[in-house]
């Protein structure tokens, strides 16, 4: 797979980032010139005092895709996501939303884009403490210039979707962290966005709440087919949610691929260091364990969809092999307990 | 010994004052007298006009309204702000001041303070917003505020008298200069302290800078700004006596007159009036600033 291109799609990408770079501090003009000369990050910092937060990154995201950027703090992932709605303006490169170069957009156009198309959920929720839950959820609608009655109704719908309608007239401080982030999500969903940027949205939540929120997000996404850019520092979360995952380090992508590709074929030592600790059965689909050859009498075996996670069928596999079928119901192959165990075992042990 | 003396006198050659005194005071004197006053006087006289209007209006209202009505009103405001105790204290204090024959003086001082604070709000909050939004403004204003806060007010009383004359209005203007800095500083600080992520969220949800100011920054900075208002009020009160030096009336004049006659009793009751007023105004504005008043209102709903 070539780096950063969306998988098997004919439609134009919803988001395209082309050679995006973002610098902070120092002599940025000089730093840009040195980047052009191909100098590395450390040398540029020494010569110009510029930190390169995002270094020449390119990728496409297809409509309806969940694209996860995973990286540790300081990897530049939050900076990257802020370039996509131009909270930060890239120092080099282009960002296109549905083919429109947003780096060329003026303030009015940017505001329109943020209200109609591309919205955001923040790590620490960023709710207004002096406004009620409903008023917070209606914030974007108010900025759109909607009447109070209309935006209240729309905000209530959004709160209903995240299960918080009974709390509409409370203040955010009355709510738990998980509930506050649902308000943040409702505020974004109230705008019916086509693109949702999520900057470590579950990073501040307890592990259990976090899992619930992940599942809810997957359900919401299945219903609305929103394109999601999801930032996280947690590889498990990245692999659970992502249609594709980009592993980011020092302002660059180390690898971009499907969760299976990341786990089964890590591009370098950095990525494989992360994947070693992963519960592979929870990440890999049964199709990853497919046996090349057909087993006699496969038709009579119980069938599972190809994208089911291995962990979900381990119990069934104990009773015998399973037939794996594609979305159209066509037979793709057969998986056995031994195959599953082999592929789910951590590298170096089996 | 003779050696030591000759060394000392030789060293004295290095002291500039042995040759001539730098006449900086004369230069300032002539600059103010020959340039600032004649050239700028009409401008400054014009600046007096809005202050005079507000001051006269307030004074007329406060002295015109029946005593009992003001007493009830003050008690009610104190009760809304903080509760029964402050309300009782306020009513008792005002009754005492009336009994002491200081009612008119109290109202004159109150009108002065209100006028000065009103102008501080109109000037200080926009300046605070400006310096919160631009580092350049902050850098430009900071030394000015430092000077306003540290220069002894006696120093600028003289040029103020030269430019504005004597009376209530010049005293109010001196008070504005003295009381303005904390409001500018705390407005700036309050806005700058608003969580960055919240401002970012405002931008991400399509707000204009003006909407971010009104929807996010000012409401969240309100507590700090109210602390600034409280500080400004207290500084303004502390100028009441100094204002009397250049012709202001009110409780400050009571103190000043007592001082001139060496009448300790008279000076003390004037001072008592100022202290009582300071306590009442401080508690009320502090309650509004800390959100006590809003909480009480919500509870009652």
Does a structural domain hold residue B171?
A: yes
Query: What ipTM does the predicted assembly reach?
Result: 0.83
Torsion of CA A154, A156, A160, A165, to 10 degrees: 170
Are A216 and A337 found together in one domain?
Answer: no
Spatial neighbors of B243 by CB under 8 A, at least 6 apart, are: B112, B171, B172, B174, B175, B252
Q: Point out the residue among B195, B197, B205 whose CB comes nearest to the CB of A143.
A: B205
Residue A2 lies in a domain: no
pLDDT band for B3, please (50, 70, 90 cuts).
confident
User: Rounded to an integer, what distance in angstroms lies between the CA atom of residue A291 and that of residue A342?
Assistant: 11
| Inside any domain, residue A254 | yes
Residue of B nearest to A127 (CA): B198
Task: Write down which residue in A244, A264, A281 finishes a domain.
Answer: A281
pLDDT digits (tens, 9 = 90+) for A51-72: 889 988 999 999 999 999 999 8
Does the residue A42 lie in any domain? no
The pLDDT, as a whole number, for residue A194 is 92
Find all residues with CB under 8 Å of A48, minimum gap 6, and list them.
A26, A27, A28, A30, A31, A34
Ranges of beta strands (E only) in chain A are: 15-24, 51-61, 66-71, 92-97, 100-101, 118-121, 195-199, 227-232, 244-249, 252-257, 303-305, 322-325, 331-335
Only one residue has tokens 């105790």, namely: B85
Question: In angstroms, how far is the first alpha carbon of chain A from the final one?
Answer: 26
Q: Give me the number of domains chain B comprises.
A: 1
Q: Nearest-CA neighbor of A238 among A204, A201, A269, A268?
A: A201
Decide if B203 and A124 are in contact by the 8 Å CB cutoff: no
Q: Specify the CATH number for the domain of residue A324.
A: 3.10.580.10
The answer on A138 and A77 residing in a single domain is: yes
Q: What is the mean pLDDT of residues B295-301?
A: 55
Min distance A116 CA to chain B CA atoms (Å): 9
Does any domain span residue B88? no
Query: With an 8 Å Cβ cutoff, are B205 and A119 in contact?
Result: yes
Per-residue pLDDT at B137: 94
Tokens of B167: 């009376």
Q: For residue A95, what pLDDT is reported?
A: 93
Q: Is residue B89 part of a domain?
A: no
Chain A positions touching B211 (Cβ under 8 A) are: 143
Assess whether A214 and A314 both reside in one domain.
no
* Boundaries of domain holding A181: 63-91+114-281
Share of chain A above pLDDT 90, in %: 42
CB pairs under 8 A between A and B: 54
B126 domain-assigned: yes
Q: What is the spatial distance between Cα B171 and Cα B161, in angstroms, rounded to a whole number? A: 9
Domain boundary among A259, A281, A303: A281
Q: Are residue A234 and residue A320 in the same domain, yes or no? A: no
- Tell the burial category of A171 from Cβ atoms under 10 Å away from its Cβ (0-12, 13-18, 19+): middle
Q: Which domain-ending residue is among A281, A309, A331?
A: A281
Given a contact cutoff of 8 angstroms between Cβ atoms, the answer to whether A179 and A132 are in contact is: no
* B200 contacts A87? CB cut-off 8 A: yes
CA dihedral (B136, B199, B209, B188) positive or negative: negative
CATH number at residue A152: 3.40.50.300
- Do A200 and A81 reside in the same domain of the chain? yes
pLDDT (tens digit, 9 = 90+) per residue, A99-131?
Answer: 899 988 999 999 999 999 999 999 999 999 999
- Strand-pairing partners, residue A71, are A248
Based on the domain organization, do A215 and A86 belong to the same domain?
Answer: yes
Same domain, A254 and A308: no
Q: Which positions in chain A touch B220 (Cβ < 8 Å)?
A: 128-130
Q: Tell me the pLDDT band of A298, cut-offs 50, 70 and 90.
A: low
Q: Is the pLDDT of residue A347 over 80?
A: no
- For residues A223 and A328, state if they share a domain: no
Q: Is residue B2 one of the residues assigned to a domain?
A: no
Do A249 and A295 fall within a single domain? no
Q: Are residues A227 and A274 both part of a single domain? A: yes
- Over residues B93-142, the pLDDT tens digits come to 999 999 999 999 999 999 999 999 999 999 999 999 999 999 999 999 99
What is the structure's pLDDT at A10? 57
Residue A113 is given by DSSP the state: H
Give the pLDDT confidence score for residue B175 in this predicted structure: 93
A196: closest chain B residue by CA: B204
Q: Residue B114 is part of a domain; what is its CATH number?
A: 1.10.3720.10
pLDDT digits (tens, 9 = 90+) for A8-42: 555 678 999 988 989 888 788 888 888 777 777 78
How confident is the prediction for chain B on average, in pLDDT?
89
Which chain B residues touch A180 with a CB distance below 8 Å?
A: none
A97 part of a folded domain: no
Same domain as A204, residue A332: no
- pLDDT tens digits, residue range A213-254? 898 898 888 888 899 999 999 998 998 899 999 999 988 899
Domain extent for B265: 27-64+102-300
Q: Is the pLDDT of residue A7 over 60?
A: no
The whole-chain average pLDDT of chain A stands at 86
Interface subset of B 188-207, CB within 8 angstroms of A? 195, 197-198, 200-201, 203-207
Claim to verify: residue A338 and residue A210 sit in the same structural domain: no
Judge whether B250 lies within some domain.
yes
- Give the H/E segment covering residue B44: helix B37-64
Place of tokens 């592929």: A343
User: Does B158 contact A at CB distance below 8 Å?
Assistant: no
In the block, which residue shows the tokens 């005092």? A49
A209 in a domain, yes or no?
yes
Structural domain count, chain A: 2
Is some CB atom of chain A closer than 8 A to the CB atom of B215? yes
Report CB contact under 8 Å: A122, B205: no
Pairwise CA distance, residues A274 & A259, whole Å: 12
Mutation site, A115, A117, A126, interface B, largest B CB count within 10 A: A126
pTM of the predicted model as reported, rounded to 2 decimal places? 0.82
Strands across the sheet with A227-232, in order? Answer: A118-121, A195-199, A227-232, A66-71, A244-249, A252-257
Work out the average pLDDT over B198-226. 93
Q: Is residue B77 part of a domain?
A: no
């Amino acid at each position: 797979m070539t780096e950063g291109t969306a998988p098997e799609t004919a439609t134009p990408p919803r988001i395209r980032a082309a050679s995006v770079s973002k610098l902070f501090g120092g002599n940025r003009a000089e730093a840009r010139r040195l980047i052009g000369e191909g100098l590395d990050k450390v040398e540029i910092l020494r010569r110009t005092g510029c930190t390169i937060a995002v270094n020449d990154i390119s990728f496409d995201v297809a409509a309806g895709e969940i694209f996860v950027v995973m990286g540790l703090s300081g990897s530049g992932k939050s900076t990257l996501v802020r370039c996509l709605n131009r909270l930060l303006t890239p120092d080099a490169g282009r960002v296109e939303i549905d083919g429109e170069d947003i780096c060329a957009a003026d303030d009015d156009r940017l505001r329109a884009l943020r209200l109609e198309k591309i919205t955001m959920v923040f790590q620490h929720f960023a709710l207004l403490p002096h406004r009620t839950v409903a008023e917070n959820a209606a914030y974007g609608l108010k900025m759109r210039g909607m009447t109070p009655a209309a935006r209240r109704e729309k905000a209530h719908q959004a709160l209903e979707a995240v299960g918080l309608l009974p709390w509409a007239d409370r203040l955010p401080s009355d709510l738990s962290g998980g509930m506050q982030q649902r308000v943040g999500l409702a505020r974004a969903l109230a705008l019916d966005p086509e693109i949702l940027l999520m900057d470590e949205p579950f990073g501040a939540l307890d592990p259990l709440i976090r899992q619930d929120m992940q599942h809810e997000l997957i359900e919401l996404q299945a219903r609305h087919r929103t394109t999601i850019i999801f930032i996280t520092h947690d590889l498990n979360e990245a692999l659970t949610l992502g249609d594709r995952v980009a592993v980011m380090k020092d302002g660059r992508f180390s690898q971009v691929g499907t969760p299976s590709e990341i786990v089964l074929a890590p591009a370098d030592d950095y990525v494989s260091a992360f994947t070693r600790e992963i519960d592979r059965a929870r990440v890999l689909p049964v199709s990853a364990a497919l046996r090349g050859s057909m087993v006699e009498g496969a038709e009579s075996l119980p069938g599972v969809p190809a994208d089911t996670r291995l962990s979900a069928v381990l119990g069934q596999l104990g009773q015998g092999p399973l037939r794996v079928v594609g979305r159209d119901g066509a037979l793709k192959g057969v998986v056995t307990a031994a195959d599953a165990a082999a592929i789910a075992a951590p590298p170096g042990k089996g | 010994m003779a050696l030591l003396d000759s060394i000392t006198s030789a060293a004295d050659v290095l002291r500039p004052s042995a040759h001539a005194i730098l006449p900086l005071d004369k230069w300032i004197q002539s600059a103010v007298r020959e340039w600032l006053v004649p050239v700028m006087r009409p401008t400054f006289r014009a600046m007096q006009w809005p202050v005079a209007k507000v001051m006269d209006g307030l004074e007329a209202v406060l002295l015109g309204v029946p005593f009992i009505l003001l007493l009830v009103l003050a008690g009610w405001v104190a009760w809304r702000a903080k509760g029964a105790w402050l309300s009782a204290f306020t009513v008792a204090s005002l009754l005492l001041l009336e009994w002491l024959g200081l009612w008119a003086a109290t109202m004159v001082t109150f009108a002065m303070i209100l006028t000065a604070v009103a102008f501080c709000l109109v000037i200080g909050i926009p300046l605070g917003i400006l310096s919160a939004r631009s580092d350049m403004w902050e850098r430009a204003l900071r030394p000015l505020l430092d000077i306003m806060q540290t220069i002894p007010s006696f120093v600028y009383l003289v040029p103020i008298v030269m430019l504005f004359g004597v009376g209530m209005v010049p005293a109010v203007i001196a008070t504005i200069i003295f009381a303005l800095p904390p409001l500018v500083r705390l407005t700036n600080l309050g806005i700058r302290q608003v969580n960055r992520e919240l401002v970012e969220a405002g931008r991400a949800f399509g707000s204009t800078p003006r909407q971010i100011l009104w929807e996010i920054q000012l409401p969240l900075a309100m507590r700090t700004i109210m602390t600034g208002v409280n500080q400004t009020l207290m500084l303004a009160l502390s100028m009441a006596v100094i204002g009397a030096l250049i012709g202001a009336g009110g409780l400050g004049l009571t103190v000043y007159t007592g001082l001139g006659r060496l009448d300790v009793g008279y000076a003390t009751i004037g001072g008592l009036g100022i202290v009582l007023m300071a306590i009442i105004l401080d508690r009320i504005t502090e309650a509004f600033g800390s959100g006590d008043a809003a909480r009480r209102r919500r509870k009652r709903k």
